Amino acid sequence: MSVYVNQGYLLLILETGIDISAASVLKIKYKKPDGSSGNYPGTLHGTTQIQYQFANIDLNISGSWQFQAWVTIGGLDAYGDVASINVLSNL
């Protein structure tokens, strides 16, 4: 599936590999192709995954985006593997 700049209704689901159902913080960190970074609020999907549904304004530049799950469980931060998505320009 291709992903395009300003595409909405796209669901990102990241697997953490551990039970995060007791997490007090669920976020997805991102790094844009231009090097800027931030995070999106995540929601629990099952017991080991974090999900986020993109709005039209989220994926606002083309190139390789990086995403990483970030949770806090019992006061300790835990991070998932980094995943990359290539966002394409629209015609």
Q: Which amino acid, 24?
A: S
**Tens of pLDDT along the chain (91 residues)?**
799 999 999 999 999 999 999 999 999 999 999 999 999 999 999 999 999 999 999 999 999 999 999 999 999 999 999 999 999 998 8
Full-model pTM: 0.93
**CATH code of the domain covering residue 39:** 2.60.40.10
E strand segments, 1-90? 3-4, 10-15, 25-31, 37-41, 43-45, 49-54, 63-73, 76-88
pLDDT of 31 reads 98
pLDDT at 66: 98
Distance (Å) of CA 16 to CA 2, 6, 68? 24, 26, 9
Structural domain of 59 = 3-88
Burial class (CB in 10 A: 0-12, 13-18, 19+), 39: middle
Helix (H, G, I), strand (E, B) or coil at 6: coil
Q: In the chain, how many domains are there?
A: 1
